[in-house]
Amino acid sequence: MSNKKIYKGKRQAIREKRRQDKQRQRLILILVVVGVALVIAALLIAPSIRNSIAPVGDIIGITPNPRPMAEGTAMGDPNAPILIEVYEDFQCPACQIYSNEVEPLVTENHVENGEVYYVFRQYPFLDDSAPGNESDQAANSSMCAAEQGRFWDYHDILFANWNGENQGSFSDKRLLAFAETLDLEMETFTTCFEENRYKNQIQADLASGQDANIQGTPSVLVNGVLVKPGYVPTYDDLKRMIEISIPDSSE
């Protein structure tokens, strides 16, 4: 065999090896891209998969506690001299304490007698860095309950069943089960829930809280004045602000 033929054969072998190496590199690149895409997809759909297969678990029922002149997310006389606005995230542990210990005293001592018009504002933020959306969906579902005149009952059952931030207490399945426990009209509720019908209203509450320089929850405003910024207000804090803000009838 001549040197020319040997040289030509070697060149062909080199070219073939290069071609195979390029094909192998392309295949590896494709596999890497597909693998990354699959990981991203898994991260995105994992919460919904967990929600769909996770059991509902035990649900703590509540005894409905009617609020005076309740309408939507508010209670009391809209013409009352004092407006109290409370910004809360249903996953907030301090909000649970405030709603269980402070809010009933304000309702009994100041809303029922016409002094205070009390408004709940949605401020869901504790799921912002979490893979799920429990704060947002709790707000969403509470507004759907409000549509049926049952916001405050749903508010109470949420806090009664909360057991940790972003731990599944407010999975979609459980939020629907809470509504069923309260005997809400489920077809109407589910449609509202799936549409996220009150998203714009919830966003408006968030924006108003940011405008009021709210940094956390619960945050309470009495006639537009933030009470004890950075701290959970006690009943005495609110009572003091209410007394200061009540117009002097002798004037």
What's the pLDDT tens digit per position in 163-196?
A: 999 999 999 999 999 999 999 999 999 999 999 9
| Amino acid code (one letter) for 233 | P
Identify whether the C-beta of residue 130 lies closer than 8 Å to the C-beta of residue 89: no
Ranges of residues in the chain with a pLDDT under 50 are 49-52, 251
Dump pLDDT digits (tens) for 222-232.
999 999 888 89
For residues 152 and 145, give the distance between their C-alpha atoms in angstroms, rounded to a whole number: 8
Listed in sequence order, the DSSP H helices in 61-214 are 93-101, 103-106, 134-147, 151-161, 172-181, 186-195, 199-211
For residues 24 and 36, give the distance between their C-alpha atoms in angstroms, rounded to a whole number: 18
For residues 95 and 98, give the distance between their C-alpha atoms in angstroms, rounded to a whole number: 5
**Could you give the count of Cα atoms lying within 13 Å of 85 in the half-sphere of its Cβ?**
15
- The model carries a pTM of 0.77
